[in-house]
Chains A and B, each alone.
Chain A
Amino acid sequence: MMPFDMSPARRIRAILASAALSTALLFSSHGAFAARTSLVLGMTIEPQGLDPTAAAPVAIGQVTWQNVFEGLVAIDREGKIVPQLAKSWEISPDGLTYTFTLQEGVTFHDGEAFDSSVAKFSLDRARGPDSTNGQKRFFAAIDTIETPDKATLVLKLKKPQGSLLYWLGWPASVMVGTKSAADDKTKPVGTGPFTFVSWTKGDRVELAANPNYWNKAVKVRLETVTFRFIADAQAQAAAVTTGGVDAFPEFAAPELMDNFKDNADLVTVIGNTELKVVAGMNNARKPFNDKRVRQALMMAIDRQTVIDGAWSGLGTAIGSHYTPNDRAYVDLTAKLPYDVEKAKALLAEAGYPDGFAFTIKTPQMAYAPRSAEVMQAMLAEIGVTMTIEPTEFPAKWVQDVLKGADYDMTIVAHAEPMDIDIYARDPYYFNYKNPAFSEIINKIEATADPAAQDALYQDAQTILAEDVPALFLFVMPKLGVWNAKLKGLWENEPIPSNVLSEVYWEE
């Protein structure tokens, strides 16, 4: 069927390699005098496959992006676009031609040389008819790809695409080898500072430092990295307390964070993510098609109370579909502030003086039912009855809400960074149609001038804060807990990731 089978010889080699690695880990953890060069990093969700260009789950990128795979450009810890496999680029004034100058002397872990033909292959694979890339839309504007020489890559676009460069920094846009791409799902081969060693399904992925890493400017200090997948929050707490895991960059349970406070061996770091918790409404359905009703619901909700109830007070309130990590962020939480009287008045004005009843479809992830329960109580204050209907995520939620748009209200954390454009997509589950908003999104894509884009992003945020096609609640915190001697992990998460090239153990 699919060419992913492991030959017996390869399997034996993989087993030997992992055995050697485990032995190495055993010794290194006992060698108290040598500098520590191994890291065990915990994650809640195991990735499905290890090719970020072949499936959407963020966990794939959180293991492989910037560790195994690299892109033409990268997103740094401040969320900025930085050069990577392309050392520089030029964008034509009409925004239709992107000319990249590529790094030379870069090789993949299997020895294949990286050049413009490989870059073309990677992009063609992502945008081709057989592409299963979750972000295929990124490449839709590309018309032709030219390779005038080995170190030059020219993208000719059908129309300007202001976000293209940013998108090229995403995990879904990484460069893959022509020989290895088909097997990346199980044996990822990239150009990054770490090579793939083994994957014990259901338990761990092991990486080792790449001795031939091309970027000499980066001093990689870790020798071996083990990603361990632990779903249960109590098990996570036990693992990081006993030292079985050195770091949980995204610890699963905010209510357990206090347990680490008195532990001098551990530090807790609370940063920002791109996970926007929003209660989307079906804007095509009555009464949510009335802006006053949506505004009334927004004003009936005290965001801080939701954050307190759902996420132990950790998290940042938002007034639009935008996070403080994002460029040109404006705090719009005061646009429709918590005001029960005003909310009642708006409802009455819209023709619902006695309120109404509706159903919210909530996924099972802890934040969703907890937020919904708090919201339920607050909406009751203005006479609105909300019934909570648990909806299995992802399967049933994707079918009912995302694909079917068969719902009144839902609540979910949108993980993709800078995805304010989802309110301009048609179809999309909000059924929100605002030509003025769509026009702004089009303008953002039509220009490549960052300052002009920033101004437009501010307009877009403001329109949404006023229109509330979804109730904007809060941004999930990045709850980091790790060994106090471990340095260099990202505190915020402008893009879902675990970048390890700058991580080291302090003596």
Chain B
Amino acid sequence: MEKMTEQQFRTIGNMLRKRSLWMLHYCTGCGSMELPAVGTSRYDMERFGVVPYITPRQADILLVTGYVNTKTLRRIVTVYEQMLDPKYVVGFGSCPINGGVYWDSYAVIKQLDRYIPVDLYIAGCMPRPEAIITGFMHLMELIDKGKATGYKRYKENLEYYKENQRKVLE
């Protein structure tokens, strides 16, 4: 019975939590160009409670827009570790998935998921605002079902992620 109520409590918590996602956009590449369109009058992501916020402490989503080179990876890891649980990472565009057009660059990392846990990818080069909003809706669905557990994975597999980060950064 006690377990049941705890489960219900968590479900209600997820249900409410998913409607208020504060986003920290780490604009590394060209992807940031699509975000003003998503945020302003035409597509208005505030309808779903997604609002850009300023500091890592306040944010829930880390949005990595575009390619990540080794220099910015260090900052991304710092920012990610400063955020408070539960936190989610969204890889935006094709660059965080497989390097995109920088697939053979020596300075760009190819898979973001090897360095910090990514909960959701929005594919495309560039994804249109509709795709971004669909992506956020999908993230809300994952949070509602309790499947967006990237922050837990990072804690459990800290050695793996730190090892990969060390290989690139040192």
Asked if A and B bind, the verdict is no
